[in-house]
Every structure is written in structure tokens, then in C-alpha cells.
Structure 1
Amino acid sequence: MEYRDEVYFHSKPESEIPFSAEEFKNRLSRIRKAMAKAGIDMLYLMAPESMYYVSGYQAEWYQAQSPRQWPASSAIAVHVDHDHYILFDSEREAILGRIFTASTDTRLFPRNSQRDGAAFTVEQLKEAGWLRGTVGMEFWSYRPNRMISQRTEALFQAAGAKVVDGTDVLRQVRWIKSPDEVTCLREAARIANIGMAAAKAHLRRGVTELEIYGEMVRAMAAAGGENPGITMPVLSGTKTNALHGLATRRKVQQGDVVLVDLSGVFKRYHINMARTFSMGEPSRDVIEVTSKAATAMAYIRSLLRPNLPVGEFNRAIMAHLVEAGLWERRGWVGGYEMGIAFPPDWVGNFVFDPLSDLNADRLFEPGTAVNFEHQFFLPRHIGQYFTIDSFLFTESQARGLSAEPFDLMVIE
């Protein structure tokens, strides 16, 4: 036996499984019930968020843009009639699987396959009898890419399975968070507030956007925070009119508007928040807009309650912004689900905004969490006022999770 085999197959690293066996058992039960309702016999999961939700699997590399010789192949198969899942992976990740998952059935690709385990996986699933029906794949996930997804689908079909889009099964299950998940969201909020306070404390004229970014990352890491799914924007000056820009070596200047948008992360659960700062006292017309916007955010918090109808919330937001004279200055007003996320995104599946009927018939049920974004263009094109709060709904209450004031914060 080669020494690497001894390490791969006999090393016993310290376990870092993120949740209890009972939590994972309950998740699997919910998934199987949803599969039965959707008419799916086997769910084939390759999205990092899905693999994590089922097993705790997490890695720093998912072969998303890898060479053709190293295609994304690791996956988890869940069958509607079985109370365990099968984890398929490269032997190079055997140790990783023992650290982060409680998998009782891990099957490693043959060594000569490199990382291309698709044919092996299908053969194993066929022998197990898991391909005698309808297979759901995650067609709306970036992983795997188009070529690998089509090839895997063809292999399933050749083995006798009917293949359908099963993306929404797990996404809908993840909408309602368990008590353990709610605990993670609260901790992510604590970390996010630490990050925002650090950004505020280090914001001054002459520092670069990257320096502010580095300070908030350091503060959140020291508080136990993890790498977020999106590279967090720190933007200054008229650059704030492009909210999805990146922090650069640009130095913050007197008179700048500065935006900080971040997520605290705990056990991969994200809570998002953003605030706007002014380098020096802003002009009167800027104060007029931002004061109204801050008042609107406070009003919106007052609307929160468990089982709040999304449509009712949207209508109240729009009416208030129209009355305040802010509606015509809006960039985007709305929000999306917060929860498990891996790079390159933290935007959840559930989206709402006042101009769309999408999800308007739904409720903000206990166990759900969303962010809410306010974006308003300031006078003379100087930038945007940008604020994000995140809301957590439980059986007994609904509340915003960000701590810093909503007002435009002046840095002297």
C-alpha cells in the first residue's frame, strides 16, 4: 500500500460536522417528503448549497471553472424510499468527507478516472436500483456546467431513468429554517454587525476602499465569521451609483458618499446588511433625501410580524415611498432569502419587490429570513443612499437584525 493510500483511507481527522445527526435526519425526511410530492424517485444534487444542506459537505474548490480533465463530479444522491444518502467523490476528498460529513455511504471514484466519476456514479446507482424511475437534477444550478449536466443526464437516461428538473425541491425545503438554522442566522447577524462597526471605525479620508474591506474582514474573522459568498463591496464617490462594483485602491475623499455592503457568515448561513456614510457634512438636499429614506426603513421595521403576507408588505412599502416623494429616486427596492450560500453568490431563491407579483401570495412564515434593500439616487449624481436590513421571522416575533442607525452617517 502506498503511503498516500494509508493517509486517504485510514487518517482519522477531528470531526467538524456542523450539525447534529438528528438535524440531518430531519432534513433528509423533509426532502424525501417533498420528493414524493413532486413525483421524483431520486434527487441528484451537485450544487454546493444542496450538498451542504444534506450532509455538511463543504470545500474550497468545486471544479466550477476547471480543466476538462477535472470535471465537477462530486454529488449526493437521495432516494425517496431510503433513509440514507450516497455521497460520491474523488479519493482526494476522502479525508474532507470524514471531517465535514456524517456520511455512512461514501463511494469514491476509481483512481484512473481522475475526478471524472460520472460513469462510475451511474453504474453504482443502477446496481443499487436507484434509477428505476424519475431522477431530478438541479438544472438551475451553475454546478455542473452545461456539458457535464447534459452528459450526466444522457447517462441516467441510458440506464433507464426519466430525468426532470428537480431544482426547486431542495430550494423550497430550505425556505423554512429549523431552530438550529435560526441559531446560525442570529450568530451570522452578530458577526455582520461587528463587521459594519469595524468598517465605520476605520473609515477616514485617505484610506483605500480595500483597506476598509480588509478591516471588516479581519474583524468578522476574529469573531468567528467565514468567507462570504460574494466579494463584499466597499464603494466611494460617484462609483456608488454602480452598486455591484468592487473595492479597489481608490482613496476615500472629502465629500464622498461611501457604501459598505457585507454579510456575516456562520456555518455557511448568511445575514446581509449595508449602510451609507458621508465624508464630512452633506449638503441640505442630500440630507433631505437620506432622512426620508432612513425614516422609511424605520417604518418598514414597524410592519414586521410573523406570517406577514408578502403582498401586503409590498403595497405598504410602495405607498410609503410614494407619499415620501422617494419612489421616483429609487434604484431597487425589495429583498431575497437569506440562508446557506457558497461563492459566487449569497442571493437566495425567494425574491420579492413592490413592482412584481412574484411570491406576493406567500407569507413570511416562522423560520424564514430575508434581506431588504433600499436604494435611492442622490442629487447631482453624487451617488446612492443604500441601506440593507435583514429580517428574521419566528413563531413569536419578527425583527430586523442590523444594529447601526439607518441615517446617513457622517464621518468628520
Structure 2
Amino acid sequence: MNSIKKDYNGLVMGAFEEAFVGEKHLAFEPQEYKDRLNKLRGMMAKAGIDMMWLTTPESVCWLHGYYASWYKANSPMRYPQCYGTAVHVDHDEILHFDNPTEMPILAAISVCENLYFFSSRDAADNIPFVMNELSSRGWLSGTVGMEKWSYLPNPAISAMFEGAFLTNGARVVDGSALPRGARLVKSPAEIAKIEMAAGYVDIGWQAILKEIRPGMTELDLFGLTTAAMMKAGSEFSALIPIFNTMPVRDGRAISTGHAMAGRRVIEAGQFLCGDICGVHDRYHANAMRGVYLGDPPAAMANRYRRAARVFDLFRTEVKSGMTVREVNALIKLCLAENGLDGGEGWVLGYELGLSLPPDWVGDFYFHYQDTKYLDRVFEENMVTNLESLFNTWLIDTVVYTPNGCRILSKTPLELMATG
């Protein structure tokens, strides 16, 4: 750990203890993090990448446990975000560079032992500081992979880092696929976290059904739902959930897009859509349902029953080892058998797992009408959400196994009603 200048105005907010006092609060056992490092290094060796410079918060958290509430994603130009974690293909140690304000949390939740803290707010000081340390270890003599699909750092700072890597003799490539690919298949410990998160989302839906009534606002209900989930142990989700009421016309709820909860008053005869995630140690489980305030139209309830059969299909016939092409064919057959093949709506899914704001949508994605990347394989212990949306707000979280998929939420996959 490098020394910190105590006289730099505004870099530290007060007296800092350089050593954390007390036990670490790791989300996983140390061996889990060692296994992750070895997995990533093996992928780097196969790809011919000597060093990875990790900046996506999920990549950093997955590798050594560190996450924070603020990453300066839209940071002032006066105060550029220069943080990152360096991984070398030939070394067991990892290096993390950050502002000293994060010293306490790094000491508490990260397994990284090589921490380097900036003594300046200026990129002109901090980037050479990073380069000097990496160069002195010989880590810039080969190919450096950057996460060019990361929103952190912003393009201006990313260009500064890429230029510095090149100036120091490295070859720079886009290594975004490596940490994303490393996180795709979940360990048993990760799946256990997601299962706990699914329990929280069920508590959220129990709260919605208990509390919803005409005359309250969406924010009233969202606050009660969030409070119930957090009382059980759930964390902030990485996305602000869709949580809004919709008018119903001709037996169909009229979509309002990705709308947040607002001050709109909930009225009888409306439909509430809630797309919520439970979160445990930043691992997400997603379950969307809909509630009709009153006695729902029979056609609406029937459409929900038919759309829910997609989940039965995944339970019984979709297995790890199958390709997206094979699964899409099964989905199309299921929709045809249930009169939902007219083109309105979709069945799709995306990877779920470790997520930090502003997004919980992972990299792996499939859509039953997609015509690209059809040879991708659903691997054992992958986790995705599954959406069956045909004017039916049905989403759940699935784990892929050789014997079918496990649907994690226990909230019924049906149209719920207050009548």
C-alpha cells in the first residue's frame, strides 16, 4: 500500500486509518476468488492477452469483492475517474488502483492485497502513477486487454489510458469478452445467492398483494414493497424497477414502457405492472407480474394462462447443452400451440447475476425471433431471466440444468387480481 499525501486538499475527507480494524466481510470464501482469478487467467492465456485492465464494476467485484456506491461515471472533467484492477496472465497477485476515500471499504470487502491509492485528483498525475507501477513489474511488455464495452471510464479517460498503454510499449486489444464470459456460468455459491434474492422478490410480491388498493400512489406502494424486501435483507437493485399502473382497453393492459413509480394515483379497473429484483450480495433474481384492480376480464386471464406455458416448457424440455437455435424452435412450437404466434410480443431472456447500477442486464441474450448467434449454448448453471410478454407481464429467473430449468420465484405465474 503506497503512502498518501496528507496535505492534498480535498482528496481525503478526514483522518483515515490505513489498516482496517476487524474481520473482513467477504461475500464468498477466499478460495472462490482464487478460482475466479485462475479462470480468468486461463481465458487470458487462450486469448493471447498478457494483462487485463478491468474497469467494469461487476468485473472488479466478481474478481476480488470490491464495490462502491459511486463510481464517478459522469465525473467532473476536473476530477477524472482513473480507478482499475490489473490482472497478469503469469501472476497470482492482482493490483487495484483507487482513490484513498475507498480505503476502508477495500479493506473490509476485497481480497486484493496490492492496493495503490492516488495522491492527486489529476489524470496527468494518476495515469503515469499507474503506468509506472505496471511497467516496473514488466506487465506492459505484451498485450493489454481493456474493457471497451464498459461505461467506465468514459471515452475521454479510456482514450488517455489506451494512449498511455501504447506509449509504454503495450499492444492494446478489446478484452471485454473475457470477464463477461468468465462470469457467465455461476458457481454453486453464486447460485445460492441468487436463490436468496428470489426469496426477497417473493416477499416483495406478497407485500404488493397485501397493500395495493385504489387511492394510494404508485410511490406509496413501491415504498411499502421496497421496505418489506429490505427488512428481509434485500439490497438496492441495479436498475430502478418498472413499477406503474396502466389503463386496460379491450381486455389488454396498455404498456407504458420502462416507467418508474410516480405520483399517479392507483384506481380501480387499472393494471399494476411490477418488474422487481431481489438482491443478495449484489446477485439479482427477477420476477415481473401484473395485478388487476378488480375482477379481471376473462380474456385477459386466459391470455396469461397461455403465456405462462412457456415457463412449463423451460421446466420440462429446455436443458443445458442445447443451442439457442434448438430452444427457439421449441418456443415457436409452444407459442403456435397456444395461439400466441401472431407476432405481438416476445419470449426472450438475458443473463442475471452480479450487477451494480445502472443495469442488471447481463451479456448473454436470446430472443425467439433472433436470427443471429444461434449456435450459442445454454451451459449448466447459467442463470437468465425469462420473459413471456404478449400483453402479459410475466418474467421469472431460471437456472439451467441437464434435467430442465428451475424457476426460482414461488409467486404464481398468472394474472393476479384484487377482486
TM bin, normalised by shorter chain, reads over 0.9
Q: Equivalents in 2 of 1:410, 1:211: separation in Å?
A: 19
Letter in 2 for 1:402: S
Cα distance in 1 for residues equivalent to 2:122 and 2:154: 19
What is the distance in 2 between the residues matched to 1:229 and 1:112?
28
- Alignment partners' CA distance in 2, 1:165 and 1:407: 43
The 1-side partners of 2:125 and 2:109 are apart by 22
Do residues 68 (structure 1) and 82 (structure 2) align? no
Give the direction of change, closer, same or farther, for the CA distance of 1:332–1:234 in structure 2 (3 Å limit).
same
Question: Given the alignment of the two structures, is residue 287 of structure 1 paired with residue 294 of structure 2, yes or no?
Answer: no
Query: Deviation of residue 376 (structure 1)?
Result: 1.4
- Aligned partner of 2:195 in structure 1 is 186
Shift of the alpha carbon at 1:128?
Answer: 1.3
Is 1:398 the counterpart of 2:412 in the alignment? no
Match of residue 337 from structure 2: 323
Cα deviation per residue 1:168-217 (whole Å; 9 max; x = unaligned)?
00101111111211111111111121112212221221121112211221
Q: Distance in 1 between matches of 2:170 and 2:53?
A: 12
Q: 1:153 aligns with which of 134, 149, 162?
A: 162
Distance 1:104 1:299 in 2: 47
Partner of 2:174: 165
Checking the alignment, whether the CA contact within 8 Å between 1:70 and 1:115 is kept in structure 2 is: no
1:4 Cα deviation (Å)? 7.1
Contact 1:270/1:341 (<8 A) preserved? yes
Q: Tell me the CA shift for residue 243 of structure 1.
A: 3.2
Letter in 2 for 1:248: G
- The question of whether the paired residues in 2 share the 8 Å contact of 1:351 and 1:358 is answered with no
User: Which residue in the other structure is 2:27 paired with?
Assistant: 18
Identity rate of aligned residues, in percent?
36
In the alignment, residue 207 of structure 2 is paired with which amino acid? Answer: A
CA contact (8 A) 1:372 1:391 kept: yes
Equivalent residue for 1:260?
274
Report the 3-state secondary structure (helix = DSSP H, G, I; strand = E; otherwise coil) of the residue aligned with 1:107: strand
Partner secondary structure for residue 7 of structure 1: coil
**3-state SS of paired residue (1:144):** coil
Shift of 1:43: 0.1
Q: Which runs of 5 or more residues in structure 2 are unaligned?
A: 1-5, 248-252
The residue aligned with 1:381 is none
Shift in Å, 1:333: 1.8
How far, CA to CA, are the matches of 2:311 and 2:265 in structure 1? 30
The answer (yes or no) to whether the contact 2:301–2:414 under 8 Å persists in 1 is no
Aligned-residue offset at 1:219: 1.4
Aligned to 1:44: 53
Cross-structure match for 1:128: 137
TM-score, scaled relative to structure 1: 0.93
Structure 1: give runs of 5+ residues left out of the alignment: 378-384
1:343 aligns with 2:343: no
Cα deviation, residue 112, structure 1: 6.0
**Do 1:72 and 1:116's aligned partners in 2 also have CA atoms closer than 8 Å?**
no
Deviates more, 1:120-129 or 1:145-154: 120-129
Q: Does 2:147 correspond to 1:138?
A: yes
Residue 357 in structure 1 maps to residue 367 in structure 2: no
Which letter does structure 2 place at the counterpart of 1:133?
G
1:394, CA displacement in angstroms? 4.1
| Structure 1 equivalent of residue 381 of structure 2 | 367
- Find the residue that maps to 1:247 and give its secondary structure: coil
The CA deviation at 1:59 is 0.3
Deviation at 1:355, TM superposition (A): 1.0
> Which deviates more from structure 2 when the two are superposed, residues 98-107 or residues 42-51?
98-107
Give the corresponding residue for 1:236.
Answer: 245
What displacement does 1:6 show?
5.5
Q: Deviations over 1:239-283 (max 9, x none)?
A: 851331111111111111111101111111111110011111122
Evaluate the alpha carbon distance shift between residue 406 and residue 153 of structure 1 in structure 2; reply closer, same or farther with a 3 A threshold: same
Structure 1 residue corresponding to 2:114, chosen from 105, 109, 117: 105
TM-score (norm 2): 0.91
**TM-aligned CA distance change 1:13 to 1:357, over 3 Å:** farther
User: Given the alignment of the two structures, is residue 407 of structure 1 paired with residue 418 of structure 2, yes or no?
Assistant: no
1: CA distance between counterparts of 2:268 and 2:113?
Answer: 59
Aligned residues: 405
Q: 1:83-115: CA deviations, max 9, x gaps?
A: 010011111211121011121111111246489
Instruction: Provide the secondary structure at the position in 2 that maps to 1:344.
Output: coil
2:259 to 227, 245, 251: 245
Superposition deviation, residue 359 in structure 1: 4.0
Q: In the alignment, which residue of structure 1 is the partner of 2:3?
A: none
CA deviation profile, 1:116-148 (whole Å, cap 9, x unmatched): 722211121111110001000000011111101
Of residues 177-186 and 296-305 in structure 1, the stretch that sits farther from structure 2 once superposed is 296-305
- Within the candidate set 343, 346, 350, 1:332 is matched to 346
Decide which of 286, 289, 292 is 1:278's aligned counterpart: 292
Aligned CA distance change for structure 1 residues 125 and 250 (closer, same or farther; 3 Å):
same
CA distance in 2, matches of 1:5, 1:223: 34
Q: Equivalent residue for 1:33?
A: 42
Residues in 1 aligned to 2:367 and 2:378: alpha-carbon distance in whole angstroms: 13
Is 1:213–1:232's contact at 8 Å kept on the other side of the alignment?
A: no
Bigger CA drift: 47-56 or 209-218?
209-218
Contact 1:206 1:251 in 2 (8 A): yes
Superposition pairs for residues 193-212 of structure 1, below 5 Å?
Answer: 193-212=202-221
Is residue 27–residue 65 contact of structure 2 (8 Å, CA) maintained in 1?
yes
* Greater alpha carbon shift after TM alignment, 269-278 vs 198-207: 198-207
CA distance in 1, matches of 2:20, 2:368: 54
**Which whole-Å CA distance do the structure 2 matches of 1:404 and 1:313 have between them?**
24
Contact residue 70 and residue 116 of structure 1 kept, 8 A: no
Shift of 1:10: 3.9
- In the alignment, the residues of structure 2 paired with residue 52 and residue 155 of structure 1 have an alpha-carbon distance, to the nearest angstrom, of 25
